[in-house]
């Protein structure tokens, strides 16, 4: 009787059933991964004390030399995390039924992807720096969960949110352009096929 019960329980087990993580939408996984990558990239700035950067003092962030260093470092760290972390995960999740490429800006392969990622993330670093230093910090709106920034300066959680916001805007623009191009290409192909068919008749 006991062996029959064990057998019935084993029959209910399906080794091919999707796990809970697989049920999470791809866009949400990529969103969280990007947020983590952007926050981690800015968090690395806390270990760059040998460059003489103080990311919590307004007198320092107004310095041109410090500004250039911060933007370059943030852009470089973002490029590394996004290209060698997020991009690879996006490619792994991609298939015909799940076009994860639409959730990421840079999807090309090889060394070229890193250079394109640097250009894009340098732009993102400039935007992040401007928003934090000239919009959020003067009003004490930088997220300060641990009471360390005083509402100003480069802070990982804030950087992550700003990155997601502007990255989403660029993604919408990119996808709209691609959609328009694909429609144009499709209409051109249909027109060409009709002309060929008319000539053939």
Q: Give dist(CA 55, CA 59) in Å, integer.
A: 10
DSSP-assigned letter for residue 144: -
Domain ranges of the chain: 25-172
What is the sign, positive or negative, of the torsion defined by CA atoms of 39, 107, 71, 133?
negative
pLDDT tens, per residue, the chain with 201 residues:
445 454 444 444 444 445 566 788 999 999 999 999 999 998 887 666 545 555 544 444 556 777 788 888 899 999 999 999 999 999 999 998 899 999 999 999 888 999 999 999 999 999 999 998 888 888 877 877 666 556 666 788 889 999 999 999 999 999 999 999 988 888 878 777 676 666 655
Give the ranges where the chain is alpha helix by DSSP (H): 2-12, 26-43, 58-61, 64-81, 87-93, 110-130, 156-200
pLDDT for residue 62: 55
CA distances from 189 to 22, 77, 176, 193 (A): 38, 43, 20, 6
Q: Give dist(CA 55, CA 150) in Å, integer.
A: 12
Q: Give dist(CA 78, CA 145) in Å, integer.
A: 22
pLDDT for residue 24: 86
């Amino acid at each position: 009787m006991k062996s029959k019960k064990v057998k019935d329980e084993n029959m209910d087990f399906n080794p091919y059933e999707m796990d809970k993580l697989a049920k999470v939408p791809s866009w949400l996984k990529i969103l969280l991964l990007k947020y983590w990558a952007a926050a981690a990239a800015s968090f690395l700035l806390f270990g760059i004390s040998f460059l003489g950067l103080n990311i919590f003092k307004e007198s320092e962030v107004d310095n041109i030399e410090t500004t250039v260093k911060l933007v370059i470092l943030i852009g470089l760290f973002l490029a590394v995390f996004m290209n060698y972390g997020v991009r690879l995960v996006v490619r792994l999740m991609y298939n015909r039924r799940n076009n994860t490429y639409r959730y990421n800006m840079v999807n090309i392969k090889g060394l070229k992807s890193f250079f394109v990622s640097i250009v894009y993330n340098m732009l993102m670093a400039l935007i992040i720096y401007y928003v934090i230093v000239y919009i959020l910090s003067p009003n004490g709106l930088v997220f300060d969960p641990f009471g360390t920034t005083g509402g100003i300066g480069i802070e990982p959680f804030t950087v992550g949110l700003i990155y997601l916001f502007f990255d989403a805007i660029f993604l919408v623009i990119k996808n709209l352009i691609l959609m328009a191009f694909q429609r144009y290409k499709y209409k051109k192909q249909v027109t060409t096929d009709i002309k060929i068919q008319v000539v053939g008749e």
